[in-house]
Structure 1
């Protein structure tokens, strides 16, 4: 009917991402052998031989028989390939590394289908009803591994050969997950003479489609600690058996396969759901001003990384403390409040002022350490145990395009506080045997002042725009400069995120000239990013609060070392701790 219409959408999204140094994880460079000088063995000068030739192989055998010192070195004619991780170490103190090589491979393929239906009906002059639903079906493929040195009977192969370990180890993760999301909503917009009310209700459903640990004391299906999880039909032996008798007793039992253990060492995770009310009210106070208020509950699914990290909950056979994903995480629940004023100040200028507050419960943190069956193994899982809130105000000023120019000015003041900024922060605190934090601290992204401005001027086919940013610094955790605090018993009193980095300043310029050519147009443009070539610090040394220097390294007091790669001054300068320098882009575009 004329007062009712609907919209149906179906879409598919596919994102692939990969990260590696060499596509072939088994790629290695060619190696030469450097025989070291040893006058006691008749070697008065070091020399290089090629072990791939018959002559070189014979010489290498002679060197081995005579126990002459030698090293494998990369052939400069064919240096491409993975080398031993030890080669990445610095040869001495205050030095750059010998090589920079990422030994990790990561492959991620995220696909999802989305079906969405929306229905809008003007059932009455003052009632507009909207309803609809959305179904999202995910298909996540993930693989990551760290290249390790190949071993034979416990001994590393030389020269170095890369190896990709099995998925039973912590060095290789592989999984496929198919989580499902569903949401439905109902909204009624009531319009009266001096009042507009939006009433809404939303239902959210999420099924992670995966499993959780059944016995918290024995999580790993590849290395179970309990014999009842390792062997079929296990019966506890008498306590009087000797070690040899116990070995003989165990040998009569057959081990489960890892896939068989999944059936009883894992359990299904239940779906999560929530009903969220929403309310919005606006009413005019003058013919040019409107006050608006909104309140709502929001259901936010945790990042998939926190749900599916460390598939199969592997800790291996060794002792340690580990952090596992938690597929049974609840959704983060946010309650938002906002009240504001929209006011027209002139024919071309308007403003919008809003005060807001966001309360976030079930903020993802890390659980207390869980004791495994063996006393030297503990682990933690991501858990809904932390809290955060954000509050402040925003002021937006806008000048509509008139007399050849327009302008926007946005300012916001906000305070973002919480127990921990990241779930890993809580885990590292547990690693240090710290008590769980109960007080609120500034979060890593607590940027108190944010000012953005944009001015656009157009005339005779020319368009010029300037975008400026002025942001206050984000927090960091300070430490005392070297020499000011020493000893385990000294209490610093320096709280986490109690200091601030320098402010951020940035100006970008865009210039465009348009030419009309028949039914086509040609744009010539120039973009200048960081117009004034400002160096903003992205990270700082905790003892000085700047990226320029640190008190922990004094070049004048460090003796020269011929093995050192680079200078100490170069080492202190962290180029990655600054934003990009000025960039200029020039181009053209043709359209019609």
Structure 2
């Protein structure tokens, strides 16, 4: 038997916000709040061993107390308007004590030895996650004085129920093979809900526990934990996510506006399972401590270690509507999860050697990140706005079936095999490709650098590329077309090119001294 407990008392004295003098209509939100929530946990665990079965049984008790009192209000309460707002909300709204939460989470792990070299195992457990303090306690004051966001300290603890079934096999007394399947059900996740009054003076967001999801998958790994020259592991994991919402994101006091919203919203749609496979390996090559010649206790060839770490991750599945690139549920009926960001690859290494001295151990190391200098486009910082992102995505040659769920594509595009995250080769001049409508091609401007030159772009119609020579359209030179396509010169890259790629190869050298 073993057990334990923990207790946390947090003191959040928060004062932060935004100031944007350039855009006069910016909300410039300000946040100021002070809370002292308490949380604690206690657990008890026992291990039982029988012939052919080993069981770990446990239970965890979680306690959460947001502490203090919180506002009592109606959904469209006038206390949130600029007339009262964040400055006077304490004067007009009553308060009541917040809810204290106490939850019990069982845990179970069972192992069935099949032979001396293999076993089956099963794990089951309930887990509770403490909420983020911001949606619990925030009060957002915007530039008009109105309340833009208000916390909800009565949010329940997020709940996860997890199952895992696996098999492990010893191979040749050198490798451990592991096969496992798992499922996690997640509920009571918080999401933001909006309330708007008829006159628009009340317009705020508040968190509600109205999101759910599940994760399922399997993994295969093989590990070598012993050896004089090489150790490491290789792992492949196939994972699939699904999520959904209860309730609706927007709530309008105007019943006509609410009815229009309910007729078109997809908030309550459950997302399709999204596969997210990934693979990793970590290989350590090293020389034994007694390897090589010995010069009065110094072995120059001994104790070297080369660690290689590789990773592949399938790109994130997204929805491209033709105007917006969104995660999660699609805002447009008929299409969902129709594009996937380009896959992520990375390779790092570390070379190190440890020397034993009279002062202690001294380790020399060299770290190299992104060894092959692979370029990964930064989706969050490279684009200067939604128009910039839209122009980039519309320039890609996406698969022909990208918008097959819609009655007609939202724009004309050249079919291909591009993915979001593809980029024009460095140093290649931009050559736009204009897709001509059925009625025929019309000369257009070439680029911002040369806006009066309609001869710059390629023109595409019915599988053929054309150039405009100043007076007529003629079929483009096949070699030129091939080079444009191979170099992806047609991709309209993000305007903030200095923020587009953030992961160049980096080399670090260092010394670590241990006494």
TM bracket, shorter-chain basis: 0.5 to 0.7
Q: 1:215 aligns with which of 61, 73, 81?
A: 73
Q: Counterpart in 2 of 1:591?
A: 514
Does structure 1 residue 388 correspond to structure 2 residue 213? yes
Contact 1:223/1:316, CA 8 A, preserved across alignment: no
Aligned partner of 1:171 among 8, 19, 29: 29
Alpha-carbon distance between aligned partners in 2 of 1:589 and 1:292, rounded to the nearest angstrom: 40
Instruction: Please report how far the alpha carbon of residue 189 of structure 1 lies from its aligned counterpart in structure 2 after TM superposition.
Output: 1.8
2:499 corresponds to: 576
Please list the CA deviations of residues 125-144 of structure 1 after superposition, one character each: whole Å capped at 9, or x if unmatched. Answer: xxxx2232221111112111
CA distance in 2, matches of 1:277, 1:143: 39
Is 1:310 aligned to residue 139 of structure 2? yes
SS in 1 for 2:216: strand
> How many angstroms apart in 2 are the aligned matches of 1:471 and 1:437?
28
- Distance in 2 (CA, whole Å) between partners of 1:577 and 1:211 is 46
Alignment of 1:56-71 (within 5 A): none
Mapped contact 1:218–1:224 kept (Cα < 8 A): no
Q: Give the TM-score taking structure 2 as reference length.
A: 0.67
Q: After superposition, what is the alpha-carbon deviation per residue over 1:173-197, rounded to whole angstroms, capped at 9, x for unaligned? A: 2111101002222222211122112
Equivalent in 463, 466, 479 of residue 321 of structure 2: 479
TM-aligned CA distance change 1:194 to 1:187, over 3 Å: same
1:106-125 to structure 2, matched below 5 A, reads none
Aligned to 2:109: 280
Within 2, Cα distance between the matches of 1:341 and 1:560? 64
CA positional deviation for 1:455: 1.1
CA distance in 1: counterparts of 2:90 and 2:97, whole angstroms: 15
What is aligned with 1:528? 368
Whether 2:198 is the aligned partner of 1:358: answer: no
Describe how 1:11-90 pairs up with structure 2 within 5 A. none
Instruction: Tell me, yes or no, if structure 1 residue 456 matches structure 2 residue 284.
Output: yes
Match of 1:509?
349
Residue 423 (structure 2) aligned to one of 548, 553, 573: 548
Q: Distance in 2 between matches of 1:308 and 1:386?
A: 19
Q: Is the 8 A contact 1:221 1:261 kept in 2?
A: no
Aligned partner of residue 506 in structure 1, secondary structure: strand
Residue 360 to residue 462, structure 1, CA distance change in 2 (3 Å): same
| Larger-Rg structure | 1
The CA deviation at 1:428 is 12
Tell me the number of residue pairs that the alignment of Structure 1 and Structure 2 aligns.
396
- Match for residue 5 of structure 2? 133
Q: Secondary structure at the match of 2:103?
A: strand
Cα displacement string for residues 494-551 of structure 1 (whole angstroms, at most 9, x for unaligned residues) = 32x3321111111111111333334533322211110010112342754432353698
- The answer to whether the 8 Å contact 2:183/2:214 transfers is yes
Is there any run of 5+ residues in structure 2 with no aligned partner, and where? 288-301, 325-331, 380-388, 397-419, 425-429, 435-443, 452-490
Residues of 1 paired with 2:143 and 2:95: CA distance? 17
For 2:309, which of 454, 467, 478 is the aligned residue?
467
Partner Cα separation in structure 1 for residue 170 and residue 50 of structure 2: 22
The alignment status of 1:437 with 2:267, answered yes or no, reads yes
Residue in structure 1 matched with residue 96 of structure 2 by the alignment: 267
SS at match of 1:306: helix
CA 1:219–1:170: 2 relative to 1, 3 Å: farther
Deviation at 1:383, TM superposition (A): 0.6
Q: For residues 468 and 555 of structure 1, what CA distance do their matches in structure 2 show?
A: 45
Query: Structure 1 unaligned runs (5+)?
Result: 1-128, 150-159, 164-168, 231-256, 483-490, 562-567
TM-fit CA distance, 1:271: 1.4
**2 CA distance for matches of 1:436 and 1:570?**
31
